Structures are given as C-alpha cells and as structure tokens.
C-alpha cells in the first residue's frame, strides 16, 4: 500500500493502450456533441488540428536535435559554449506560443485568451468587449497548462469572477489553509496531469507550500490527484466539456 507521503508514478496512467482508448472515447464524445450542434465547425477544428501536428513535431524534434548538438559540442570541445538558459528559454517560448495558439483557437467562441503574465498567474473575466484573460506565470509551459486546467474546471458563473472567485493564501499557509488549498486543487491538477502526459512531458504535483511549519507527511494530495486523473481516464464523460476538447486535441497532435 502506498504511504501518504510517497508520490505515485504518474507515468503509469498511460500504460498499455490507455492513451489510445482514452482518445477513442473522447473522439466519440466529441462526435456526439458535434452532431448535436454544428458539424461544419467540427470539420474546421479537425483541419486545424491536422495543421498543428507538423508544428508540434518540428518543435519536439528540434529540441532533441539541439540536445544532441549540445552534447556533441561538449564532448568535442571539452566545454559547452552554448548558453543553456537561452536554449531552454527559446524552446520553452516556442512550445508555449504553440500552446497559446491552440487554446485561443479552440476556445475562441468563449471569448477567452491564454496569455503570458509578467507576475503570478491570474484570471481576469471578460469586460467591455475585451476577452477574458487566463494569465500564466513567466511564460512557463507547465504554468500555462495549470492555468488552462483551472479555466476548464471553472463553470460559467466562476468565469465571470476575478480568479474564478477562489480564495487564495500565499506560500506559508497554516495546516487548515493547506487542507483547503489541496481540496480545491485536486481536480485542476488531475487535468493538468493528463494534459502534461498527453504532451509527453513529466508531471509533478504542486502543494505550493514550501515554507510549511507543520508536518506534511500525512497529506494524501498526490495520491488524490492520481486517483482523480485515473477516474477521468476510465470515465472521460466526467471530464468538463472544455477539458475534453483540449485533452482530445493534445492527444491527437502530440
């Protein structure tokens, strides 16, 4: 039995053909929804996803080629003359640009945009004809997926409220505050987990409480996130509708 303070291996969520089966079920759910609404719009989305596939492949292949180039250079010269931070920043920016383009196109009908923020992540509802803004932190791809997950979880009412109307306390929370935080974060981080794995990236839960002055060993948060993600895989119809749309797109493309 897994202890509370042992983080589960999230990569096991897509073992075997779980990933393919999930995509097939999401496609069926999408086809049903499309048939009940606008079939022409569904065809346009399909064309758009096909258009994005080579872009993502070029991004990922470019990363692998750059890593090999750096490795070969280090072996040959005895020193890596390339600034690794610049390479990471460039790769991260390109991937994040791609993700923003995907999100903003998929959800244009919701009048919302996923955008880079200069500070901490924040959600701003639409106002005076301006679209809602899902701002993520400092251009990080993982932060973009995390904030997109919160938007997917939020219903129409919460999307009209700043930061979805959620209470938030910064790092250094009390034990009671941390428990409240973790309860709210289970569903969005489960979605973030699936989005991240679909992109073939590594997922890690975030308890966002590095400076806790209490015993955190009894937290079941990581296991709760894992179980929620597993539940979504076996019962994808329980995924929020917009999460179904984004996850399906990422699985098809990546």
> How does pLDDT run across 156-172, given as a tens digit for each residue?
999 999 999 987 766 67
Average pLDDT of span 170-193 = 87
Q: What does the pLDDT read at residue 60? A: 86
Phi-psi region of 251 (alpha: psi -120 to 50; beta: other; left: phi over 0): alpha
Measured between alpha carbons, how far is residue 130 from residues 10, 125, 133 in Å?
Answer: 38, 9, 9
pLDDT tens readout for residues 103-149? 999 999 999 999 999 888 999 999 999 999 999 998 899 999 999 99
Reply yes or no on whether the pLDDT at 2 is more than 60: no
Q: Which residues contact 117 (CB under 8 A, 6 or more apart)?
A: 135, 136, 137, 138
Q: Are 125 and 162 in contact (CB under 8 A)?
A: yes
How would residue 152 be classed by pLDDT, with cut points 50, 70 and 90? very high
Structure tokens at 10: 């999230």
Q: What does the pLDDT read at residue 37? A: 64
Average pLDDT of span 21-48 = 82
Q: What does the pLDDT read at residue 129? A: 93
């Amino acid at each position: 039995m897994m202890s509370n303070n042992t983080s589960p291996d999230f990569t096991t969520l897509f073992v075997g053909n779980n990933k393919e089966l999930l995509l097939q079920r999401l496609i069926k759910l999408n086809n049903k929804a499309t048939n009940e609404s606008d079939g022409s719009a569904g065809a346009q989305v399909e064309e758009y996803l096909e258009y994005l596939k080579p872009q993502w492949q070029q991004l990922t292949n470019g990363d692998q080629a750059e890593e090999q180039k750096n490795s070969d250079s280090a072996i040959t010269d005895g020193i890596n003359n390339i600034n690794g931070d610049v390479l990471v920043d460039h790769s991260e920016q390109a991937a994040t640009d791609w993700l923003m383009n995907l999100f903003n196109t998929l959800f244009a009908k919701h009048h919302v945009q996923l955008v880079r923020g200069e500070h901490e992540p924040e959600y701003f509802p639409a106002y005076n004809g301006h679209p809602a803004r899902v701002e993520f932190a400092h251009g990080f791809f993982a932060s973009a997926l995390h904030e997109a997950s919160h938007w997917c979880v939020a219903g129409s009412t919460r999307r009209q409220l700043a930061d979805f109307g959620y209470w938030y306390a910064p790092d250094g929370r009390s034990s009671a505050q941390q428990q409240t935080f973790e309860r709210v974060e289970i569903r969005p981080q489960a979605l973030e987990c699936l989005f991240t794995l679909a992109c073939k990236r590594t997922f890690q839960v975030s308890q966002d409480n590095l400076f806790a002055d209490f015993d955190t060993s009894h937290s079941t948060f990581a296991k709760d996130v894992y179980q929620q993600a597993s539940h979504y895989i076996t019962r994808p119809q329980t995924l929020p509708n917009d999460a179904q749309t984004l996850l399906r797109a990422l699985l098809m493309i990546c």
